[in-house]
Amino acid sequence: MRAAAPLLLMTAGACVSATPAEPLALSSAEVWERHHELDGQKIVVEGWLQYCKPLGCRIADSKDDRDPGLSIASSASFDRSIDGLVGQKIRLSARLDAECLHVSVHGANPDGSMIVCTDRASELREPMLLQVL
């Protein structure tokens, strides 16, 4: 008598993706609102690239420079990737450094120390362009 061949069962949809889901894009206002909890984390920000030059690079929720925006840290590779995109809506990833946001909101860092944020502050460190919208 012959032994039965092993039976292999395959179920549809059993595949699990190893790629993590892309985080939801935040607006500048949401980052300002949640800056304490997001400090030091890698985030995705979506908004209008208002300007980008050696002494300042800014993303905000509208083209109006009176809106609260975020300063994008100096990065030669990021600056090259956004060449010609000023005035357009973009999505970028970066690590949030909320030190200057703490100062703007509270007048000092949580530990009471003072810091002066000028020119191209490093609120959004290690910026990387993800998409032009």
Taken in order of first residue, the domains within the chain and their CATH numbers are 28-132 (2.40.50)
pLDDT at 11: 46
Which residue numbers in the chain have pLDDT < 50?
Answer: 1, 7-13, 15-18
Q: How far apart are CA 42 and CA 9, in angstroms?
A: 41
107: left (phi over 0), alpha (psi -120 to 50) or beta: left
Burial of 87 (0-12, 13-18, 19+ CB in 10 A): exposed
Q: Return the structure tokens found at 14.
A: 């059993």
**How do strand 89-96 and strand 42-53 relate by DSSP bridges?**
antiparallel
pLDDT at 10: 47
What is the tens place of the pLDDT at every residue in 22-44? 678 999 999 999 998 999 999 99
